A and B are shown apart, each in its own frame.
Chain A
Amino acid sequence: MTTRVGRTLDGIFSWTGRLVVGLSVAFMAIPALFIMVLSFSNDRHIGFPPETWGLDRYVEVLTSRTWLDPIVLSLEIAALTALFALILVVPAVLGMKRGNLPGGTVLESAAVAPMLFPIAAYAVGLYAVFAEADLLGTFHGIVIAHVVHAVPMVVIVLSTALDRVRPELELAAMTMGASRARAWIGITLRLLTPAVFGAATLAFVTSFDEAVFITFLGGPGLVTLPKSIFDSVQYGVDPSITAVATILMVVTAVLMLGATRMRKDVR
């Protein structure tokens, strides 16, 4: 008897499970598909399903300064963010993992910690420091804030990747006459290259998508793409956002998939 009850319960369990998973996948997919479909509409107002189809919204995005200027600004900031995050983290991870320093774990935890800070509180802390250093509303200030924002992920990716590069390989190179620099450049860094690219991509995407620091620290003069979309959604809806969003989504997806693939290449 207990087995029959158990079996019925098992059946209910397994079917609710499948239902939950199916609904969850639908829930995750619908907003993205919805935006994509709307971006190919030529209707003057947003309505679903669209009555006319076309590429008007894409043409508008790629020709109007209201969208191009923020896109260019965001690209600049994101590229610099990725570069500086790598300059800070690549040597540090090598030093932490190969240097046998006391407090390596402490440094890694401290560098990763901002990921778990409520971003609004952290933004206020940075706001106070930036006010002191006259960095509020400046391009440099935003790049610095974005670097801080990107560093945790770069540390995680690179430190995980370096854990998989065995020091014995460097040792082998050195016993065969390579200098340490040669061993690092020829073996370690070459093996790390995919992870470095992956980390740079993550840093780039993190910065390109950042909307809170720019609101607290950017002032009125710096309008990045997320800020521009944010303002536009808040104060009236411009249908061309759907096209911007679709471009953003596809580019981010391609970059992130590339980054994930590269991370997996480190063996």
Chain B
Amino acid sequence: MSVPTHQAPKRAGRTRERGTWTPQLSRRAGILLVTPLVLAVLLLVVYPILKLLYDSLTVGAGPGNYVDAVSSGAIRRAFVHTLLTSAAVTALSVGIGASLAWTLRRARHRVATALIWAAVLLPFWMGVVVKNYAFALLFAREGLVNEVLLGLGLVDRPVQLLYTTTAVIVGMTYTMIPYAVLALYPSMSAVDLELMNAADGLGASRRRTFTSILLPLVMPGFIAAAAIVFAISIGFYVTPVLLGGAQAPFIATVIGDDIFTFFDYPRAAAASVLLLAIALLAIGAALKAVGLKAIRGGLG
């Protein structure tokens, strides 16, 4: 009895003395390791955003930059167009993404699962510019879509598809579907399929199972996915230029023109701050509703 009590403190004492038997780093070493990233984040994430905010309030007309930006018809129209289009893109990509993510969740056939995953990830592999180029060719006056429409007798002469809002929505939805699927998949794969069987066994219709069991379980994933897709969508630059043409520009294009064509950096800064604020509002609302973990989980 006396032997163990004698030995135990001795062993503990030796551990403490050497002080190395812990996976925990000393605080100083930890700080040293994170310093480069902290500096990079301060210099290249925090500082640019603060500078943008500061510039938008001090250079040019000062706070009047915002009056300038909001009273400009071009910027107002671009904002409305950007937000409405992005809302449509969000609804479509989350909707389509949900059906794909759920199919992937339920799928048992390995080849089918692999094929669907490949289809979902294709936009990531294609490159930003390339996929828009593909749609530009598909939507052209003599493009494949018009050929098919004419062939089916749905239209009797080629319709204008390229340089329309529809083209922009299709192109952006194509780009955002993988984000939506990847954001939705974690919450869907966490759903216990036995719950659905149980509901079925207890006599619930599929619709009832869907609304009372599945929907509440996957709702956080939906909200996270919608916020992520919307925040990314409103900053789009390439797709609206290549598929939307000049008549209905996105806010990104107007900001770019302000800087490079009209040399009006103050107004561009004010418009950028407004754009950023809208994105942060969307993300902030989602954070409040579902928490950091769901958003972080939605990012991969």
Interface residues of chain A, those whose CB is within 8 Å of chain B, are 3, 6-7, 9-10, 13-14, 17, 20-21, 24-25, 27-32, 34-35, 38, 46-48, 87-89, 91-92, 94-96, 98-101, 105, 107, 109-122, 124-129, 132, 144, 147-148, 151-153, 156-157, 160, 167-168, 170-171, 174-175, 179-180, 209-212, 215-216, 226, 229-230, 233-234, 237, 241, 244-245, 248-249, 252-253, 256
Contact = CB atoms under 8 A, between A and B. Distances in A.
**A107, A122, A126, A210 interface centre (most CB from chain B within 10 Å):** A122
A81 to B, nearest CB: 13
A25 B44 contact: no
A119 B251 CA distance: 11
Contacts of A171: 21-23
A38 B143 CA distance: 12
Given A28-B174, A229-B130, A120 B31 contact: no
B48 A122 contact: yes
B34 A92 contact: yes
Interface of B: 20-27, 29-34, 36-38, 40-41, 44-49, 51-52, 55, 96, 99-100, 103, 115-116, 119-138, 142-144, 147, 174, 177, 205-208, 210, 228, 231-232, 234-238, 241-242, 251-252, 255-256, 259, 265, 268-269, 272-273, 275-276, 278-279, 283, 292, 296, 299-300
A249 B134 CA distance: 12
Nearest to A120: B252
Contacts of B207: 6, 9-10, 13
Nearest to A209: B127
A100 B238 contact: no
Contact of B279 (A95, A117, A212): A117
Contacts of A179: 20
A99 B268 CA distance: 42
A216 B31 contact: no
Given A3-B205, A119-B235, A245-B134, 16 more contacts: A7-B205, A9-B206, A24-B96, A31-B134, A34-B144, A91-B37, A99-B33, A112-B296, A118-B279, A120-B236, A120-B251, A121-B52, A121-B275, A129-B51, A171-B21, A237-B137
Contact of A99 (B29, B124, B238): B29
A167 B300 CA distance: 22
A157 B103 CA distance: 25
Given A124-B272, A234-B242, A245 B127 contact: yes
Contacts of B143: 48
A167 B51 CA distance: 40
Nearest to B52: A125
A20 B99 contact: yes
Contacts of A118: 231-232, 234-235, 252, 275-276, 278-279
Contacts of A229: 127, 129-130, 133
A109 B283 CA distance: 12
A107 B41 contact: yes
Nearest to A256: B125
Contacts of B20: 174, 179-180
A216 B256 contact: yes
29 contacts: A3-B205, A6-B206, A9-B207, A10-B207, A13-B210, A24-B99, A24-B177, A89-B37, A92-B34, A95-B29, A96-B34, A99-B25, A101-B31, A115-B299, A116-B231, A117-B276, A119-B232, A124-B52, A125-B51, A125-B272, A128-B48, A148-B40, A216-B256, A233-B242, A241-B130, A241-B133, A245-B130, A256-B121, A256-B124
